[in-house]
Chain A
Amino acid sequence: MSVAELVGTFRNGVHPHENKEQTENFPIARMAFGKIFTLPLSQHLGAPSKSIVEVGQTVFRGQLLAEAGGYVSANLHSPVDGKVITIGPRRHPRGDLATCIELEADPFSTQTINASPQNDPMNMSTDDFVASIQDSGLVGLGGAAFPTHVKYKLPEGKTCEHLAINGCECEPYLTCDHRTMVERPEAVVRGITIAAKILGAKKTSVGIEKNKPDAIAAMQEATKNLDDIEVYPLKVKYPQGAEKMLIKAIYGIEVPAGKLPLDVGVVVNNVATMTQFADWFDEGLPLIERVVTVAGTAIARPANLIIPVGTSVREVLDFCGLDMNTQQVIMGGPMMGMPLSSLDVPVLKGTSGLLAFTEAPKGHQNTLACISCGQCLEACGYFLNPARLAKLAQARRWDELDDFYVNDCMECGACSWVCPSSIPIVQLIRTGKGALRELKANQQA
């Protein structure tokens, strides 16, 4: 019996209905190129990128459009051959109008990329590697879109013992990482080899939930001759794909509150990020397209599609057959994704799924009073008290939220999911977090 079978998971958490059968057996396909591509300058965590192109300029696929606007920021490349038509405010998936570069694709272009492989990453120094990754515009493809290069620049005195690769895909409906592991296990392994070499990690563990037996088999097959990569089948549970939960599930180590995974010697990356490493170093492909799961009750032809970043959500949904009676469209997974207020928004680097439903969730319309049942406490992977946090936020007692460690909440939504009174706990906590941040900024000023 391996360690994985003994540990297998973290404490607490929930198990929503997986709903993955819609897309899990469909191979990744490619969608036809659209006409208009909208690229927000801010589609990653950190500072927005700075545009280096002008309106009217002709750009080619893979050309740099915007440079990183700081250390925690990423480059942005053109997903198509075409022309810059505007640089101005366009709707961002989070709902506001943000500065975007709008491209018109050249209808006569073959859209082939003229890229050459990068230098051999195995002989690179860490600094060169970090610079190279920042050049590629790579951000974490798991959903949070955190610029990847930041993770690879280890601070002084910190060492990375283990590299943990997240293949959990614990969000319901999403199967893009699943399909990536089934179809491109060698690319994942290639990415892991590069990452482990740069980090100096002794062991790499790939955590995959047990509801993906074909992905586990494919990864085991691809790693059978490699002693330093181990595949860990994990119990199916949400939010196992969260960094700290994954570390607990694989290694049995708890990351202390307010600390980073690196403080316990672990770096966590998503499997899709690993394939992007392989694509960048072996083929010279920057992050210009990604695999997106399109599913939900309102989708006639669910699919896993390779979609160029910047493609309009409306085009993608029309391609997959959107129902006329669609009530809600979510970007990302149903637990943590954001509901879209408009379909005329682009697919971002961090978009893992597009889900459309014919029935909007009825829960919030009949929110009842908290009955103090404690189910949210049993769901919270961070051992917080979500009910208390929600009550404080509702009472606008922002300053007290800090006493209950509100900033450790990762907003996974497990508490809202279990709540029998349908209280929008996460929304209240997010409201509180924002207000608390403002309060602190005011106090400092």
Chain B
Amino acid sequence: MDTTLTAVLIMSSIGTFFGICLAVAHKYLKVEEDPRLDVVEEMLPGTNCGACGEPGCRAFSEALVGGIKEPCQCTVGSPDDIEIIASFLGVVAGEQDKVVARLHCAGGLGLARQIAEYEGYSNCRAAHLVGGGGKGCSWGCLGLDDCMVACDFDAIHMNEQRLPVVSVENCTACNDCVEACPRDLFDLMPLSQKLIVQCNAPLEGDDAYAVCSVCCDGCQRCAADGDGKITMQNNLPVVDWSDGNIAASPKATWRCPTGAITWVEDGQFIQPTVEYSTRKEVAV
């Protein structure tokens, strides 16, 4: 009984001592913080995705309160949420072009040539190491879900051709899929840039057709129709976006024999691709 009492007494006196210490520290060592910080952080989506360029939502709210960033730079929140934050802080919400991840490959199942069957750990990065994953094209999408797994926003789903379809609504341009893809097929592009090169293979002519039916074969027709804004680099067209939204019409895509360069109004791979014959008529 005696020992129990001593123990209880010692523990409670230690507790009281540290309690007093903490109380004093709270009183005299307190750091004043902007009360708006907590409120703004509460208003943010709290996904810590990093798409705004800050290491997390807390850091972004600090940047907001400090006036370094604009509320619109949070790509996850809906426009209404952004407006609420802007009115709370008394700043302009700002205008941000919606950015989404775009895939530079259209060679899905049945379109790109499969030369061998890959059996094993189902992961693009791992398959890439084993004979190139059995895909004839060593630059194209392997379709083994690495980007879908990496996506925190349920924005990527594989379609029946084993190609990742990015949902424009859900994509926050957080860069996770760009990093996950072992073949560097994803790119973050503003929604207003509608001319997309859906091929990544630097092959030319028959070499390209040998591996994929929707490849870019480097024919340069789009470059000829692109009003000087499309140049060929490494047998692939590169669109110059430096002075804004230049390609206002899908003219450059009309003569593409494979559909490797496309005009995308919304999400990729959801609208039916225009048949080559129809496209030619349009071009004439």
Contact = CB atoms under 8 A, between A and B. Distances in A.
Contact of B125 (A89, A360, A434): A434
Contacts of B132: 94-96, 341
Given A97-B138, A338-B131, A339-B130, A431 B125 contact: yes
A89 B203 contact: yes
A427 interface: yes
A404 B134 CA distance: 31
A365 B119 contact: yes
Interface string B96-135: 0000000000000000000110011101011001111110
B130 A89 contact: no
A89 B134 CA distance: 17
B207 interface: yes
Nearest to A88: B207
Contacts of A340: 116, 131
B182 interface: yes
A46 interface: no
A430 interface: yes
A87 interface: no
Contacts, number: 61
Nearest to B125: A431
Contacts of B134: 95, 341
A86 to B, nearest CB: 10
A249 to B, nearest CB: 29
A427 B126 contact: yes
Indicate the size class of the contact surface on chain A: 20 to 34
Nearest to A435: B125
A172 interface: no
Interface string B182-225: 10000000000000000000010001000100000000000000
B143 to A, nearest CB: 15
A30 to B, nearest CB: 29
Contacts of B116: 340-342
Interface string A393-436: 00000000000000000000000000000001001101100110
A97 B137 CA distance: 8
Contact of B126 (A89, A94, A338, A428): A428
Contact of A97 (B119, B121, B129, B203): B203
B139 to A, nearest CB: 8
A94 B132 CA distance: 7
A340 B137 CA distance: 15
A427 B118 CA distance: 13
B131 A364 contact: no
B129 A364 contact: no
Given A89-B203, A364-B120, A365-B119, A434 B138 contact: no
Contacts of A342: 115-116, 131
B121 A427 contact: yes
Contacts of A94: 131-132
A338 B134 CA distance: 12
A364 B115 contact: no
Interface string A295-334: 0000000000000000000000000000000000000000
Interface residues of B, number: 20
A318 to B, nearest CB: 18
Interface string A357-374: 000100011010000000
A89 B121 contact: no
A194 B123 CA distance: 48
Contacts of A89: 203, 207
A94 B207 CA distance: 18
A339 B203 contact: no
Given A94-B132, A341-B116, 17 more contacts: A89-B207, A94-B131, A95-B131, A95-B132, A97-B137, A97-B138, A97-B207, A338-B130, A341-B130, A365-B119, A424-B126, A427-B130, A430-B129, A431-B121, A431-B123, A431-B125, A431-B126
A428 B115 contact: no
B129 A434 contact: yes
B36 to A, nearest CB: 34
Given A88-B207, A94-B132, A97-B138, A424 B125 contact: no
Contacts of A427: 120-121, 126, 129-130
Contacts of B119: 360, 364-365
A435 B120 CA distance: 18
7 contacts: A88-B207, A97-B207, A338-B131, A341-B130, A424-B126, A431-B123, A434-B182
B126 A95 contact: no
Nearest to A425: B121
Closest 5 A-B residue pairs measured CB to CB? A95-B132, A341-B131, A96-B138, A95-B131, A341-B116
Contacts of A97: 137-138, 203, 207, 211
A438 to B, nearest CB: 8
A443 to B, nearest CB: 12
A28 B91 CA distance: 82
A360 B119 CA distance: 9
Nearest to A432: B125
Contacts of B125: 431, 434-435
A89 B131 CA distance: 16
Q: Which of B130, B134, B203, B207 gathers the greatest number of chain A CB atoms within 10 Å? A: B130
A112 B37 CA distance: 83
B41 to A, nearest CB: 27
A301 B3 CA distance: 87
Contacts of B121: 364, 367, 424, 427-428, 431
Contacts of A367: 121
Contacts of B120: 364, 424, 427
B4 to A, nearest CB: 42
Contacts of B207: 88-89, 97
Contacts of A341: 115-116, 130-134
A334 B125 CA distance: 22
